């Protein structure tokens, strides 16, 4: 008999998903991040979602690589949230326009341009895409 999963795209068991999730787009980056976790195990590999769970300094964490695009990230965050995750950190690359920012610099964004359509399904256009560090 096939194992029952609670979500349609990410075929993992709820208990395999940590509260804290890192969301890289690139699958290679996700594998490198997961390799740093103690007791790391792959808990899903379906529909382009590669999901690993382990611990860092004793804290359970999940890494879910999504591929590119807002819709893929939205599906991952919804399903991971349904399985118990409540804190997400997006890790990836991006373009920039600031002259003082060089190639390879680390940038911690506090806001983003909402140019895609996916965000509009969650928030009204006037709502700012600004981080909440509370």
128 part of a folded domain: no
pTM: 0.86
86 part of a folded domain: yes
> What's the rounded Cα separation, in Å, for the pair 14 and 16?
5
CATH of the domain at 32: 3.40.50.1580
Pairing of strands 20-24, 87-91: parallel
The range of the structural domain enclosing residue 83 comes to 16-93+106-121
| SS3 state at 118 | helix
57 part of a folded domain: yes
CB 10 within 8 A of CB 44: yes
Total domains in the fold of the chain: 1
pLDDT in tens, the chain (134 residues): 557 778 999 999 999 999 999 999 999 999 999 999 999 999 999 999 999 999 999 999 999 999 988 899 999 999 999 999 999 999 988 777 788 988 888 888 888 888 888 888 888 888 888 887 77
């Amino acid at each position: 008999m096939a194992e029952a999963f609670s979500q349609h795209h990410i075929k993992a068991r709820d208990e395999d998903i940590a509260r804290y999730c890192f969301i890289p787009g690139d699958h290679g980056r996700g594998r490198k991040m997961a390799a740093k976790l103690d007791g790391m195990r792959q808990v899903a590999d379906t529909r382009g979602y590669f999901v690993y769970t382990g611990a860092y300094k004793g804290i359970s964490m999940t890494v879910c690589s999504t591929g590119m695009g807002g819709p893929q990230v939205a599906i991952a965050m919804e399903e991971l949230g349904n399985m118990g995750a409540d804190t997400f950190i997006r890790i990836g690359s991006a373009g920039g326009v600031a002259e003082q920012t060089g190639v390879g610099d680390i940038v911690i964004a506090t806001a983003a341009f909402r140019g895609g359509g996916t965000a509009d399904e969650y928030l009204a256009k006037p709502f700012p895409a600004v981080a909440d560090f509370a």
